[in-house]
Amino acid sequence: MENTVRKIVVGIDGSAQSISALRYAASLAASLGHDLVAFSSWLPRIALEDYTPEWAPEQDARDALEKSIAEAFGEDIPANLEREVTMGPAAPNLIEASKDAAMLVLGTRGRGGFKGLVMGSVSSSLAAHAKCPVLIHHGEAATA
């Protein structure tokens, strides 16, 4: 039996590429009648880090996601937009999210990318292992 609720999941890390991918995915979701999920993940504090009681990594990830959404859409946030913030590494979390998705949309490379790379390690991993089609968005300045 086919799943009637379809969604497009977008990996967001705050980079310009992920924000551009979110805008593109929003137009796809609207065209296809799918829900849109802005997806981010966070890692817990490790024992060797300086202890800063004010630092809350999960809340920082939620705040960064909201900032990315605001940058992508301003006040015109799509009505079908959902937010998901999950603990753990981005690639495995997005692979898990892809199990229930119609499509996964990612920017070419994220915050940790090296200049000159076409795709980052997360994008490469997801292109190989996701459970749904993956669209790697090259950004608004890309030409055909």
CA 3 – CA 90 distance, rounded (Å): 25
Report whether 106 contacts 137 (CB < 8 A): yes
Q: What SS3 state is found at 81?
A: strand
Higher pLDDT, 72 or 53: 72
CA 33 – CA 30 distance, rounded (Å): 5
Report whether 5 contacts 35 (CB < 8 A): yes
Q: What residue ranges define each of the domains in the chain, with the CATH number in brackets? A: 7-46+53-137 (3.40.50.620)
Average pLDDT, the chain: 84
The tens digit of pLDDT for each residue in 71-126 reads 999 999 999 999 999 999 999 999 999 999 999 999 886 544 434 334 457 778 88
Strand 81-87 relative to strand 103-107, pairing? unpaired
* Token couple for 30: 């609207």
Per-residue pLDDT at 138: 85
Q: Look at residue 64 and tell me whether its pLDDT is greater than 70.
A: yes
Neighbouring CB atoms inside 10 A of 104's CB total 28
